[in-house]
Structure 1
Amino acid sequence: MPAGGRPTVRSRRLGSALRAYRQAAKVDQPQAAEVIASSQARISRIETGHATPRVIEVRLLLDAYGIADQDVRDKLEDLAKHSKNRGWWLEHAEHLRPDYLDHIALEDDATYIREWSPVLVPGLLQTPAYAEAVISATPHYIAPDRIAHLVKVRAGRQAKIEEGGATYAVIIWEAVIRHPAVSPDLHREQLSRILEVGERKNVTVQVLPFSAGAVAGLTDPFSSFSFESEPIVEAVTLENLRGTSVLEAPEDLAAYAHAHDHLRSAALAPDASALLIRSALRRSKEDAS
């Protein structure tokens, strides 16, 4: 069973893919069970992510489903090998919600991460001071020691981007840049950090200007993830007051891929976005002097 007694995003991705290939091959669950000399119940648990198949079982099932593409086979075998692995974030698990753990696991696996942030600077760009300030502002009480863990986790998440482990494209609404959600000093530090990270080859920062009008109200904040060499959206997370929701249905993925493309088209180009951020930073420094 996946770690913690609940499906992990990796076990769910593996199970979902195996189910799709089985159905495409017109193989029913009892027939699939015969392939690995097991029960229909185990096939069901594998396909829902509640059980992790061994690599040999994945190979046998893919053979039965007629999947010869080696890239596909390698991907699913890798998921089977690593679905139970303990990620760095699990040392903080007692301080994190299960849905947030899922979000971090998606980030850790992703080759492409795309975000839309109309309210706050996204976590992958936050300075420690900014992170502490916005976490402390939540309407729910969070103990100081837990705040420290949450700040440390955000810093850990950023390592993926800093090390070039994923291509990161973020769109930020101009209001986030122009109207500080934290103290002016912290806001200036945060703007400088955005400019610094935006210079990385694997990072694209765009600002959606006020002039884009109603486009900013298109959708709430979201992150999308791809796990292949091509940026095909394979998972989406939505943040809300109650936590993080993971979307994996094809129609949902298509909708959010379209939404990001629409936002990106309406946003300023990266160079123009950097100029706007520098202008806001300069204005803030002038106001402080």
Structure 2
Amino acid sequence: MPAGGRPTVRSRRLGTALRQFRHAAKLDQPQAAEIIAASQARVSRLESGHVTARVIEVRLLLDAYGVHEPEVRTKLEELAKHSKNRGWWLEHAAHLRPDYVDHIALEDDATYIREWQPVMVPGLLQTPAYAEAVIAGGPHYIDPERVAQLVTVRVGRQAKIEEGGTSYTAILWEAAIAHPLVGVDIHRDQLSAVLEVGKRKNVTVQVLPFSAGALAGLASAFSSFSFDEEPTAEAVTLDNLRGTSVLESPEDLAAYANAFDLLRSSALAPDASAQLIRGILRSLKEDGS
């Protein structure tokens, strides 16, 4: 069973794929149960992610469902093998919401991450000082010790980008760049860090300018994740006051993929975005001199 008795992101992704392939093969759960010599209840729990399929079960089901593409089979077998693996972030799990753990797991598995952030610099680009300021300055009181732990986790999330393990595209509204949410000194250092990280081959930073008008209100902050060689969204996360929601339905994924494409097409090109950030950074330095 996934840790804590609740579906993990990996077990849920595996279960969703198995259910979709079963439907495509026009088989029902009792028939799937016969294939793996198990109960219908186990098939139901496999497909919901509440239990993790064994590799042999995945292979038998995919054979029966007529799924022979090597890349698809390898992907699902890997999910079965690693769905129970402890990620680095689980050392801090006692201090993290389960939905935040899901978000981090998606980041860790993703080959492509795309993010829209209209309010602040995204967590994957934040300096420790900026992260500490925005976490401590949130609407709810957080004990200083826990703030430090959350900063450690936020910085740890950035390793995947630093190592080149994923392609990351961030679109920020100009307000997140031009209007500091934190102390000016911290904000200046943060802008410098964004410019530096934006030089990485696997990172693209674009700014949606004020001139884009109402488009900035198209959607609140969201992140989308792809797990294959193509950047097709396979999961989307949304932050809200109650935590993080994970969206996986085809309709939701299509809507947010379209929203990201609209935002990106209206955003400044990476070079022009960097030029805008440098200009704002210069003005902040002049104001502080």
The TM-score, its normalising length taken from structure 2, stands at 1.00
Cα separation, 2, equivalents of 1:139 and 1:243: 13
Does residue 114 in structure 1 map to residue 114 in structure 2?
A: yes
- Please state whether the residue corresponding to 1:37 is helix, strand or coil: coil
Which deviations, in whole Å up to 9, do the C-alpha atoms of 1:87-107 show, x marking residues without a partner?
000000000000000000000
State the partner residue of 2:240.
240
Cα separation, 2, equivalents of 1:50 and 1:180: 43
Which deviations, in whole Å up to 9, do the C-alpha atoms of 1:151-196 show, x marking residues without a partner?
0001100000000000000000001111100001000000000000
Cα separation, 2, equivalents of 1:71 and 1:3: 27
State the partner residue of 2:104.
104
Q: What is the CA RMSD across the aligned residues, in angstroms?
A: 0.4
Cα separation, 2, equivalents of 1:14 and 1:233: 16
Which deviations, in whole Å up to 9, do the C-alpha atoms of 1:67-122 show, x marking residues without a partner?
11010000000000000000000000000000000000000000000000000100
State the partner residue of 1:131.
131
Does residue 163 in structure 1 map to residue 154 in structure 2?
A: no
Tell me the CA shift for residue 43 of structure 1.
Answer: 0.1
- Please state whether the residue corresponding to 2:158 is helix, strand or coil: helix
Tell me the CA shift for residue 141 of structure 1.
Answer: 1.3
Q: How does 1:208-287 map to 2 (within 5 A)?
A: 208-287=208-287
Which deviations, in whole Å up to 9, do the C-alpha atoms of 1:15-42 show, x marking residues without a partner?
0000000010011100100111000000
How many residue pairs end up in the alignment?
Answer: 289
Cα separation, 2, equivalents of 1:182 and 1:39: 56
- 1:213 maps to a residue whose letter is G
- 1:196 maps to a residue whose letter is E
- Please state whether the residue corresponding to 2:244 is helix, strand or coil: strand
- 1:115 maps to a residue whose letter is E
State the partner residue of 2:194.
194
Moved over 2 A (4+): none
Gaps of 5+ in 2: none
Cα separation, 2, equivalents of 1:70 and 1:269: 37
Which deviations, in whole Å up to 9, do the C-alpha atoms of 1:194-237 show, x marking residues without a partner?
00000000000000000000000000000000000000000000
Tell me the CA shift for residue 140 of structure 1.
Answer: 1.1
Q: How does 1:9-24 map to 2 (within 5 A)?
A: 9-24=9-24
Tell me the CA shift for residue 3 of structure 1.
Answer: 1.3
Tell me the CA shift for residue 130 of structure 1.
Answer: 0.3
- 1:122 maps to a residue whose letter is P
Aligned-residue identity in percent: 77
Tell me the CA shift for residue 139 of structure 1.
Answer: 1.3
Cα separation, 2, equivalents of 1:261 and 1:84: 34
- 1:236 maps to a residue whose letter is V
Tell me the CA shift for residue 132 of structure 1.
Answer: 0.3
Cα separation, 1, equivalents of 2:281 and 2:11: 44
Tell me the CA shift for residue 59 of structure 1.
Answer: 0.2
Gaps of 5+ in 1: none
The TM-score, its normalising length taken from structure 1, stands at 1.00
- Please state whether the residue corresponding to 1:101 is helix, strand or coil: helix
State the partner residue of 2:4.
4
Does residue 69 in structure 1 map to residue 69 in structure 2?
A: yes
- 1:60 maps to a residue whose letter is L
State the partner residue of 1:26.
26
State the partner residue of 1:154.
154
